[in-house]
Amino acid sequence: MRITRELTIKRTEPTTIIVPDLQENSVIPTKIYLDNPSFYLNLSFGSIKINLSPGYLSLCSMIDLSDYSRTLMTTKVSDYRLTLTNKTKYEQRVTITIEYVKHAGVMLYEGSYNENEIPKCLDSFAGYGVLRMVIGSATIDEDIKGVKFKCIYRGLYDDFEQLNETDSTAIDVIIPDKYQKVLHFFELVPLNPKVKNINLICYGYNVAN
């Protein structure tokens, strides 16, 4: 996915644009292209601060953000900004292209829960967008059969469940879009009533304040 913007940058007057945060669509910015290298460039992505000169931009075909993907997915700041400063003698035109790629999230948490802890194990996911969970019985070779996500407030959200239709005893759950930020309003229920202890791995991203 690519988006573009055309700008006229005046002399000595820094111009700042917002780089859209599209994590709700499970995409993050990975490359930035400028068709005119005449600028001093500053990128601000939460804790990431990148300063580049016209020399760098003239030598490199694009700005590669792949080394910062984990930070982009875990920062709680969505105020992504790109600032261009024109120190030439004339106004400069530039087309900025931002390329986004799909991501599956970073590992946010992994842990084990006993029978009393399982119903409340999703409480700690407030403030996260959960994309995927891998859940299995802590007992070797015990099939979890599936999981049900049961809303703790009647009428707030519909319950949902996923069956384990694979040969594995664990289940890989892709969380539907509308539930990704609200899993802390749900209890987790293994569909196999014999399962008393579970292991869980959660993948996703921080939700910006």
* Segment 144-160 mean pLDDT: 94
**Phi/psi of residue 110, each to 5°?**
-145, 140
Domain ranges of the chain: 2-102, 106-206
pLDDT of 206 > 80? The answer is no
Pick the CATH number of 2-102 from 2.60.120, 2.40.50, 2.60.40, 1.10.10: 2.60.120
First to last CA, the chain: 25
Give the pLDDT confidence of 22-79 residue by residue, as tens digits: 766 667 788 999 999 999 999 887 777 889 999 998 888 888 887 777 666 666 566 7
pLDDT confidence of residue 78: 64
pTM: 0.64
Residue 79: predicted pLDDT: 74
Do 17 and 94 touch, CB atoms closer than 8 A? no
Which of 44 and 21 is assigned the larger pLDDT?
44
Q: Please give the Cα distance from 119 to 152 (Å, whole number).
A: 10
The pLDDT value recorded for residue 48 is: 77
91-95, 105-109, 126-130: the lowest-pLDDT one = 105-109
Stretch 149-173: mean pLDDT? 91
- Tens of pLDDT, residue by residue over 183-201, are 999 999 999 999 999 999 9
- Which are the contacts of 134, defined by CB distance < 8 A and separation ≥ 6? 170, 171, 172, 173, 200, 201
Q: What Å distances lie between residue 59 and 10, 37, 48, 63, CA to CA?
A: 23, 9, 22, 11
